[in-house]
Amino acid sequence: MLLPFLLALHAVVAALLPPLARVLGTRVFVVACLPPALTALWVLAHAPDVVAGQPVTSAVTWVPALDINLEFRVDALTLAMVLLVSGVGAVIFGYCARYFHTGERGLGRLSAVLVLFAGAMLGVVSTDNLFALYVFWELTSITSFLLIGHDDRKEHARRAALQSLVTTAGFGLPMLVGFILLGQIGGSFRISTLVADPPVGDPLLPVALVLVLAGAFAKSAQVPLHYWLPGAMIAPTPVSAYLHAAAMVKGGVYLVARLAPGFAEVDPWRALVLTFGMATMVVGGWRALRQDDLKLLLAYGTVSQLGFLTLLAGTGTQVAATATIGVLLAHGFFKSALFLTVGVIDHQTGTRSIAALSGIGRRMPVVAGAATLAAASMAGLPPLLGFVGKEAALEAYLPGGDPATALPSGAAAVVLVGVVLASVLTVGYSARFVWGAFSTKDTVAERRVPRPAAAFVAAPVSLAVLSLAAGVLPFAVDPVAQGYAAAFDTSGEPYHLALWHGLTPALGLSALVLVAGALLFHRRVTVARVQQALSRWPDADRGYHGVVHAIYVVALRVTRLLQSGSLPVYLGVILATLLALPGARLVMALASGDVAPPGAGGNELRFWNTPLEGVVALLIVVTAVATVREHRRFPALILVSAMGFGVAGLFVLYGAPDLALTLVLVETLTTIILVFVLRRLPATFGTRPDGWAKRLTVLLCAAAGTFIAVSLWLMTAARTDPPVSLGYTSLAREAGGDNLVNMILADFRALDTFGEVVVLATAAVAVTSLVLLRRSRVVEETDPGPDETEEERAGARTGEGERT
């Protein structure tokens, strides 16, 4: 039960941070470190059991009526993700204490939202229930929206935050539908159960998987939904380091990796994952080569790496799964270090532009060394963890590299070519980052910048060193990879993460990638010219704005058509929808014999139980027809009230005096209120519709009335079980009440009654506010100003009346 406690701790600390920020200033981030740091320590303490195949589980009852529980499960994949979400998150939070200054606007809010985001991500990667995963998933979308738009004074920040929210949350809705389908056809909403026993063969399974992958692709910025991630770079650099290197964008990769053991063999899983993953790798790497802003360079590099991770996570083989853990951890370490390095450079120099930086390496040698290590890991140079992971990835798609692979040889060859091409681009933009940030350029004047404090550079240095240590000692990471890869079928000896596998084809491809990438960087001027010539390629960001604008135009036209301000039109649309959907289904059911018409099937069709009911019904019908034919407002109101009193009479005949009394009071109060309203309205109604409009209105109302009458009859005639209300008498006595109706309203349906009371109270407040606002305006208009005479006010009122 400790994991739910850690989640609650995130929420409690987040609530305390805003007031603490006013006292502690930037040191509030030290307090913010506590929940993720404790979580990382807790999961490391359980790591030996987890990698040995003994997951840590816990559960909290959430909605027992629907069998929905907050179930948590920490296995090898969750262990790797928690190390990134909480471990790297704690390092970044500590970095924030030196990055931000005490006068930073919204410091308490920023720290609180960061901790809430960390808690939401922890919930995403640890929950074992699809509904709980969706809740945590959307919490990450909301909190990331707040983090990206932290500086809400900038229009670009607001626009980028909205873009990320629309994309990730918008595609989260079809993902929810996919979750519901998956749980229904699988018979369980527990993720581990579905993966262990997937409902293979069900025709709805491919549909569910496509919907789930749509949400995962949007969260992990897969082409063509990658546009939101570069725009989100408007956020503060530590936020970018956390969201787009260690946490948020890994959510989609995690979901693909979580479901792959059970569903990778189901079409069209592999086709979608491999296609979109390869396209994202290449597009992101190509775009990264042309960026002048260091942060945007890393952003497009992140897009490329996310495509790589999605490709590996969704392949569904033992070697690819092993590579997934290696690349996942390597990317979290080196990309976080690089983002934090950019934050140091920007903080000390005031710019992130490659064209404006020169000689920074001599001014900040420690930062340059850490960034070079991290960039080397990103490029896949030994002996760093990035090299170890990329070796495994190349091995996964080599002919014979993975004996258990289900990929056809042609498809494996295409994927291998895509991985090699993307890796060459990665080497190219990695070299461009180091050169652009730290080299001395003859065409740019050197900047004299102060050296950063040791505490400021500690975070990027520690993450870069961690990449080196994990590469030199891959046996520390390999058990986690083997724990996850054990879920996949293997034939032969399983593949292990190692720094040296001998002179293998994968090693030869790695050497080829490094040489080609270095040549690509050396010919960067030529590459820039080619990219300039191809600048007219389709722009995903423009596509997003085009789609949003089209939706806006369609919504505006539909609104103008339907929201015309005419109450008859509104009622007509409601009645037409009622007839088009449930009405059409009822007619089909009656025609096919699925339901028996009134009087059929042995059901007795009674017009009344006592003749008095016929008298009351005749009164209701006569007053209803008279109301429709009446042209004057006041008589129509009296007729409507009489119809309501007739319905109250039916309640009396059926032995419900309490309901009848309630209806009489409501009708009386409504009539009195409407009498006062009618004083402000004309005495008669406007011109009634003639011709086809009148006939259409009569036909629509008659059809709707018939549908409602037949539906009510069928509902009452279809009852087979005794009414629920029969057990209310004994329950009312147990609750200590004598009046059954009062007990139903105040006890059995307490939430409904409370909701109705809230609605009435809200309406009363709104009406009172409007009355007081109107009264204050009248007082202002009649109150003479200091320099205004009574004659001037009278003249003003006269002129106002003439203009009116």
174: tokens are 């079809």
How many residues are present in the chain?
A: 804
Higher pLDDT, 411 or 689: 411
- Mean pLDDT of the chain, nearest integer: 87
CA-based nearest residue to 99, from 182, 38, 25:
25
Amino acid at the residue 794: A
Q: What residues contact 96, with CB distance under 8 A and at least 6 apart?
A: 26, 29, 32, 111, 114, 238
Q: What is the pLDDT of residue 779?
A: 62
Does 406 score more than 80 pLDDT? no
Q: Give the pLDDT band (50/70/90) at residue 585.
A: confident
Residue range 324-352, pLDDT digits in tens: 999 999 999 999 999 999 999 998 898 99
Q: Give the pLDDT band (50/70/90) at residue 401.
A: low
Q: pTM value?
A: 0.79
Q: What is the pLDDT of residue 313?
A: 94
786: tokens are 């200091």
Contact predicate 362/447, CB 8 Å: no
- Strand pairing report for 68-74 and 56-63: antiparallel
SS3 label, residue 273: helix
Q: What is the Cα–Cα distance from 315 to 256, expressed in whole angstroms? A: 10
Query: Residue range 162-179: average pLDDT?
Result: 94
Contact predicate 115/37, CB 8 Å: no
Query: Residue range 548-556: average pLDDT?
Result: 92
Query: Residue range 540-544: average pLDDT?
Result: 85
Does 793 score more than 50 pLDDT? no
Query: Residue range 264-292: average pLDDT?
Result: 92
Q: What is the pLDDT of residue 114?
A: 95
Q: What residues contact 57, with CB distance under 8 A and at least 6 apart?
A: 71, 72, 73, 74, 128
CA-based nearest residue to 392, from 276, 313, 302, 466:
313
Q: What residues contact 520, with CB distance under 8 A and at least 6 apart?
A: 289, 424, 425, 427, 428, 527
Q: What is the Cα–Cα distance from 674 to 639, expressed in whole angstroms? A: 13
Q: What is the pLDDT of residue 795?
A: 46
Does 403 score more than 60 pLDDT? no
Does 427 score more than 50 pLDDT? yes
Q: What is the pLDDT of residue 804?
A: 35
Q: What is the pLDDT of residue 792?
A: 46
Number of neighbours of residue 541 by Cβ within 10 angstroms: 13
Amino acid at the residue 422: A
Which among 364-373, 480-489, 657-666, 730-739 has the top mean pLDDT? 364-373
360: tokens are 């920074």
Does 800 score more than 60 pLDDT? no
Q: What is the pLDDT of residue 796?
A: 42
319: tokens are 């070697």
Q: Give the pLDDT band (50/70/90) at residue 614.
A: confident
Q: What is the Cα–Cα distance from 384 to 495, expressed in whole angstroms? A: 18
User: How buried is 786 (Cβ within 10 angstroms: 0-12 exposed, 13-18 middle, 19+ buried)?
Assistant: exposed
128: tokens are 């074992």
Q: Give the pLDDT band (50/70/90) at residue 656.
A: confident
User: How buried is 700 (Cβ within 10 angstroms: 0-12 exposed, 13-18 middle, 19+ buried)?
Assistant: middle
Residue range 179-202, pLDDT digits in tens: 999 999 998 899 999 999 999 888
Q: What is the Cα–Cα distance from 248 to 729, expressed in whole angstroms? A: 54
Does 599 score more than 60 pLDDT? no
Q: What residues contact 21, with CB distance under 8 A and at least 6 apart?
A: 28, 107, 108, 111
Amino acid at the residue 280: T
Q: What is the pLDDT of residue 453?
A: 87
Higher pLDDT, 690 or 420: 420
Residue range 481-494, pLDDT digits in tens: 999 998 887 666 88
Residue range 255-268, pLDDT digits in tens: 999 999 999 989 89
